[in-house]
Structure 1
């Protein structure tokens, strides 16, 4: 190499020594240059950051806050959020319809809560159990009933009782009490999800629930101010029925969310319909035999039952998708707006008028839903069910395979903003 060559007149020993020193010096120079190439950008960044901190001051803080706000509201740009928001309101509207048809049946002298739900369970059983048999065969279906039948029996039992006691409660208590006590299903879902499904809620989620309940409180206050309390034959009995029914709904929603996150939806709905048909059938035969004899049957009554059945089928076949895409807690928050939709229908059907607290209450419920997902990573955590272990992920409608590593990343991201 050229830097080892020395003048021809030099002493050979000196030449060798000089060449060696030259080599070492060059090597050190190259090392230093290499280190400078690595460290210089970092130093430059540090100096720039220092300069910004020194001269920018408050603008730098504003830029950080703006960035944080964008992260907090990032879920609004996610179409997944808008899908579950609209889906929740469609279900809320359907529940409003079932309440109206139940009211018509009660006014016509036909208080038959178990019987009017029987057709729903029978149809679910026929459609989804048949499809399950087609998909997995009779042997596997029979083994499913033997192995896990007791779990689905419990799901069906609490679901049947929820429908029965809530409808029964409306016949004894007044509307205001029913609305207030119906909110009890939300804390039941939160309690069960926290202790049994290991769901951990962030402060924004709990605040969102409180705001939603505040929205319903305004609706109830509106009814109170406009004297819509309505007479009640036995408030104590009716209130007890509503509390029992709301508790059963909380159990039913939580159980169903657990099942549909790990099993095919047709299998879960089929098992629910299968066991509920027997439970509800026996209950109808025992408790509503006399009511059935004294019922006043007409074309109008048949239409009310048909309308109730259609809306309930929509609820039962699409709610599991919402459970997969969000949670049982979100579902119960969404249906708090049912009273507002009831007013909108009532304006046309019953001649109701809109009191100014109603729109505010409805808006507050929607704001509560937005607050529920405000903290970054909340939407992702609801999709990534914490009780689904690695290797147990299941693909299905409204449910995507996920990794717990990605869920943990979302958790860490959310913690940084908490």
Structure 2
């Protein structure tokens, strides 16, 4: 296997012809090919192909850390040829990301269960209870970022890229808030149906801004997963466990749409950020900016609920469990964004209703309707259809990072890491 030349696209884009001619080592220009486009020089020079292709999406300031990435050992095309058809389904990476997505779905079920237990104790503080999660994330990831960068470089990060992370945090906090708020006014059935909107937002934003091109089989896989969720919703409606009559269906549905929209925006933006920057930086900055935003919302909307809440050791235990599970969720989600995509992340969470009923049989004494296992199998089958046409790198190969991922980081779960070390599992 021949060793591919090291790529330095940033130098190539900044240097003029004279500088390139006097460089000590040749600099290779790399063309970028989204899914479904051609790599031939003829096509890239034509006007029609120019509409289909794009360059590396540059929305971030230069790398702040001193860590140097290793040269790649194989190209993306060489890696994709190794296992032929259904190549990604044969890799360990697929099974890891599948299990990880289900672990995150179970985590969401855990946070929902604990929120239900808190409501049973007359404690309804949706914004305030999330603050402890952001505090813990700051203690872990912001502290580690300060350790890696130093205070001077960390303040430079705030100055240069803080606005990007503020937008990410803003979308994340509002997604959480409006989704919880929706359940106060509409039925569970309506809110679940509107959750389809988050997947639609992710796909559209990825198509427009990140130039992702989905295969027809991926659209089919998404539809199969959504069909499975439809069966779950139908089962809830049949059994009468859809939450009863809505207090204000129109207001609740609008809040649910807003929550799903903000979730979709934050997922896509976070996928972009973690593909180019270290995990500890992205999670730390998300928590750093989310803490004051969430604090303002809690001070405005949860103030009376906090005063009227009945505090007890049991409530403290529920809050501690909620915080620990949510912190794990925020730590694991970016790895799915790297190994897969925001779209796969959201369809993976569709099984949350199934896991919720499984937990509810023990906690709330619910019963599993016969349609639930069928719906779960249907959703999982959609995962396999979604990835049936992917190469060995799967969606870890981000089209906005360049043909051989030269525009991205080589951190945990990235395609660049696999190109540098083909034997890497994650």
Aligned residues: 334
- TM-score normalized by the length of structure 1: 0.77
The 8 Å contact of residues 71 and 376 in structure 1, kept in 2 or not, is answered as no
Correspondence for 2:351 among 337, 341, 345? 337
The 8 Å contact of residues 211 and 400 in structure 2, kept in 1 or not, is answered as yes
User: Which residue pairs with 1:362 in the alignment?
Assistant: 376
User: Which residue pairs with 2:107 in the alignment?
Assistant: 94
1:154 to partner: Cα distance: 0.2
User: Which residue pairs with 2:204 in the alignment?
Assistant: 191
User: Which residue pairs with 2:319 in the alignment?
Assistant: 305
Correspondence for 2:309 among 267, 270, 295? 295
User: Which residue pairs with 1:213 in the alignment?
Assistant: 226
1:172 to partner: Cα distance: 2.2
Correspondence for 2:276 among 238, 262, 269? 262
1:303 to partner: Cα distance: 1.8
The structure number with the bigger radius of gyration is: 1
CA distance in 2, matches of 1:221, 1:130: 46
Moved segments of 4+, more than 6 Å: none
CA distance in 1, matches of 2:418, 2:355: 39
1:168 to partner: Cα distance: 1.7
User: Which residue pairs with 2:10 in the alignment?
Assistant: none
User: Which residue pairs with 2:285 in the alignment?
Assistant: 271
1:14-413 aligned within 5 A: 71-231=84-244, 232-377=246-391, 380-389=393-402, 391-401=406-416
Between Structure 1 and Structure 2, the one with more helix by share is 1
- After superposition, the Cα gap between the structure-2 partners of 1:356 and 1:263, relative to the gap in structure 1 and judged at 3 Å, is same
The 8 Å contact of residues 411 and 417 in structure 2, kept in 1 or not, is answered as no
The 8 Å contact of residues 106 and 171 in structure 1, kept in 2 or not, is answered as no
CA distance in 2, matches of 1:140, 1:355: 55
1:354 to partner: Cα distance: 1.8
The 8 Å contact of residues 393 and 402 in structure 1, kept in 2 or not, is answered as no
The 8 Å contact of residues 94 and 315 in structure 1, kept in 2 or not, is answered as yes
1:403 to partner: Cα distance: 10
CA distance in 2, matches of 1:247, 1:393: 26
CA distance in 2, matches of 1:183, 1:298: 38
- After superposition, the Cα gap between the structure-2 partners of 1:376 and 1:147, relative to the gap in structure 1 and judged at 3 Å, is closer
CA distance in 2, matches of 1:234, 1:187: 25
Deviations 1:11-43 (A, max 9, x none): xxxxxxxxxxxxxxxxxxxxxxxxxxxxxxxxx
The 8 Å contact of residues 109 and 296 in structure 1, kept in 2 or not, is answered as yes
CA distance in 1, matches of 2:418, 2:109: 38
1:376 to partner: Cα distance: 4.2
Segments of 5+ residues of structure 1 without an aligned counterpart are 1-69, 405-418
1:235 to partner: Cα distance: 2.3
Where 2:399 maps in the other structure, the secondary structure is: coil
The 8 Å contact of residues 169 and 239 in structure 1, kept in 2 or not, is answered as yes
CA distance in 1, matches of 2:101, 2:325: 14
State which drifts further: 101-110 or 269-278.
101-110
Higher relative contact order (CA 8 A, sep 6+): 2
